[in-house]
Structure 1
């Protein structure tokens, strides 16, 4: 994968596909950016439907804000905050038909709403802000499986297109549309609806331990680079219209990485570039290269050990956080004690183990015991406080 700028990223189609699949699993919005006529809409419909998911599409150029916010209607009653209904006339907003269909489908599984020509939204973008972040349409809370996917041409190639406003851009994972000539030729031959598409499970890693570990990796990087958490909106309007770091986008990245094969560095880098921008993505990948050398699952099982003196402190911090998260999730005394035994090996490194030890002490399973080697540390640094 070659990186030229925040708006010019060349990536292999398979890498883009894996990041997209991870975003669907994590239920975050991907915004595909590509030139007109390269088959974005057709391929996405074929791909998502092949996964057995609901797929519907709409075009922003044909929409008004009321198509998202709903049209006002007069109701003879008013529902209060406690659920009681009063016979007081009030105004409410009718939920658009597309949102009702999406809500129904998303209550039984993942359902994808595709929004095309997203750079031509104008006033509709404002209406979409709450939809993208909270999944609320005209007062209707969509089902838990609702996922949005958007696509757009670059602003200079779109009809009446414009760069996205920073609040909209910061809610999206920005991916380049990588035209797959082989898939297109096959679709042209057999029909795009008959393409043999890779399965969603084949493209992602469904492992809770992986999700915990990746989240701890992002937290570990940010713990040592706190200025990267929220540096503010980029001053360059072009950069502000794409991917840039904020607490929201770092959270999105942590969620998406949890579904990516931890050995696939190209996919990890592309996911990071699409959420927090190129500069921070490259720095994070450098950190991740060290973090990935320490596997908390293997350490817990006794198959690997930790170099407590030769490993970078930020990497050790992330490892300890990951270990604690796994022990808390499993919630059994054996795993809890095994994690504490690992920390006991590093009693001379309170700077990296104390936060994780505090976490475990707050969630001690019945019958679990603190290793003797940690007791003096607990007294000296008041871990239990």
Structure 2
């Protein structure tokens, strides 16, 4: 046995190395923002290992609770009758693991196998996840909550999450990376990089996050609350005032930490869903676009975005600005910007703006020489469109 123990000890010896991992960064950032996170993934792909590593990196004691093997009273508390219930009431006694967390003052509470917990247990977990209350006991601020679940198709006696519980989590789809697994089995696993918040960016990060969410919801009021129609959809991320507040917090933390767009995409889509999340990301992109008025004031110094969709949005904004205040100088400046777009990007992006801008011409405005260059691009683009339509009709 001693030799077997020695061999097992050698097999447990591993090292870690810094490695970029979008999902791991998103998880770490959401935990730092003190939001409950739910990891979705097939069995055996390392969800529990990731949580163990995260707890070590944060220097937090890890408390694992298998939700599916507990009764509702394990989370709502067991009634304990005192000396005079009519006067003192009947307190709800918390389980021992909750008491240990309170005594420690900090920790990582890992609720595993959430999708195999029956509806009654899920209902009891509502206060644990949102209010951090277990019976009469309130978990301290230093405790973070992370859960894990298998898709219903691969969960033993699985249940869909109830909409109230699902809407309290940041949902992260957990998958394995082939290279990480191979290197890890060789003895070297990736190490979680803790987000570093820049103290100088905190105020601007909050203002940026509030502006991003409020501008989108002001323009798209139907996105404020959308309960999915399907049972599976209601068990995932979907938009509500609660989840938009979570998204706002995550944008602020991601901005202050300088997180990548990929990490922000995982967090936002995991909070309000893919559709609203992608609209919010597009809105964030537009917030960084140059002001159309600044471009019209000095077209010679203009710098247009490289990405086609953002460039299109800028050109449309310039033409709209001319429409709202049509003046000869502004009209000429807009043509200069369209020529710049033609010289530095795809010609098809100027087709619609050029056609719209031409329709804004007043009778006493001379046609600028730039129109001849743009007219050729518009003509070629339209011929290509007609050819594509003809080919499609023949097919």
Q: Given the two structures, how large is their TM-score scaled by the length of structure 2?
A: 0.64
| Aligned positions of 1:152-171 closer than 5 A | 152-171=149-168
Given candidates 74, 83, 87, the residue that maps to 1:76 is 83
1:142 aligned residue (126, 139, 142)? 139
Asked whether the equivalents of residues 13 and 180 of structure 1 are also in contact (C-alpha less than 8 Å), the reply is no
Q: Paired residue for 2:241?
A: 247
Alpha-carbon distance in 1 for matches of 2:155, 2:98:
26
User: What aligned pairs does 1:78-157 form with structure 2 within 5 A after superposition?
Assistant: 88-105=87-104, 107=105, 109=106, 111-122=107-118, 123-157=120-154
Aligned counterparts of 2:156 and 2:242: Cα–Cα separation in 1? 30
- Count of residue correspondences: 275
Shift of 1:142: 1.2
Q: Work out whether 1:288 is the aligned partner of 2:284.
A: yes
1:89 offset after TM fit, Å?
Answer: 4.8
Following superposition, the deviation at residue 186 of structure 1 comes to 4.2
Aligned partner of 1:57 in structure 2 is: 64
In structure 2, relative to structure 1, the CA distance for the partners of 1:44 and 1:180 (3 Å cut) is farther
Structure 1 counterpart of 2:26: 19
Shift in CA distance, 292/77, structure 1 to aligned 2, threshold 3 Å: farther
1:37 and 2:44 equivalent? Answer: yes
Local SS of the residue matching 1:57: strand
Give the structure with the higher percent helix: 2
SS at match of 1:88: helix
Structure 1 Cα separation of the partners of residues 245 and 163 of structure 2? 17
Secondary structure class of the residue paired with 1:129: helix
Post-superposition Cα deviations, 1:143-199, rounded to whole Å, max 9, x if no partner, equal 1122111111100100000111111111111111021344434443448xxx56133
Please tell me whether the aligned partners of residues 29 and 150 of structure 1 are also in contact (alpha carbons under 8 angstroms): yes
Which of 250, 254, 258 aligns to 2:252? It is 258
* 2:193 counterpart residue number: 199
Which digits, 9 at most, give the CA deviation of each residue in 1:233-283, with x for residues without a partner?
111212111111000000011111222145622222221210111111111
Q: Could you tell me how far 1:13 is from its partner in structure 2?
A: 7.5
Larger radius of gyration: 2
CA pair 198-41 structure 1, distance change in 2 beyond 3 A = closer
Distance of 1:237 and 1:92 partners within structure 2: 36
Cα RMSD (Å) of the superposition? 2.7
CA contact (8 A) 1:104 1:143 kept: no
- Once the two structures are TM-superposed, the CA of residue 77 in structure 1 deviates from its matched residue by 5.3
Q: Partners of 1:133 and 1:293 in 2: how far apart?
A: 37
- Is 2:217 the counterpart of 1:218? no
Mean CA deviation greater in 275-284 or 182-191: 182-191
Cα contact 1:243–1:277 (8 A) shared by 2? yes
Specify every segment of 5 or more residues in structure 2 that has no aligned partner in the other structure, as ranges: 1-18, 297-395
Q: Kindly state the Cα deviation for residue 103 of structure 1 after the two structures are TM-superposed.
A: 2.3
Tell me which residue corresponds to 2:319.
none
Partner of 1:278: 274
Does the CA contact (< 8 Å) of 2:43 and 2:150 recur in 1?
yes
Structure-1 residue corresponding to 2:172 = 175
When normalised by structure 1's length, the TM-score is: 0.65
| Contact preservation (8 Å) 1:18, 1:267 | yes
Task: Indicate conservation of the 8 Å contact 1:119/1:163, yes or no.
Answer: yes
SS of residue paired to 1:32? strand
**SS state at 2:254 partner:** coil
Q: What SS does the corresponding residue of 1:146 show, helix, strand or coil?
A: strand
Aligned-partner SS, 1:103: helix
Unaligned stretches of 5+ residues in structure 1 = 1-11, 79-86, 295-305, 312-385
> Partners in 2 of 1:235 and 1:93 — Cα distance?
36
**Structure 1 residue 116 displacement after superposition:** 0.8
**Alpha-carbon spacing, 1:308–1:100, altered in 2? closer, same or farther (3 Å):** farther
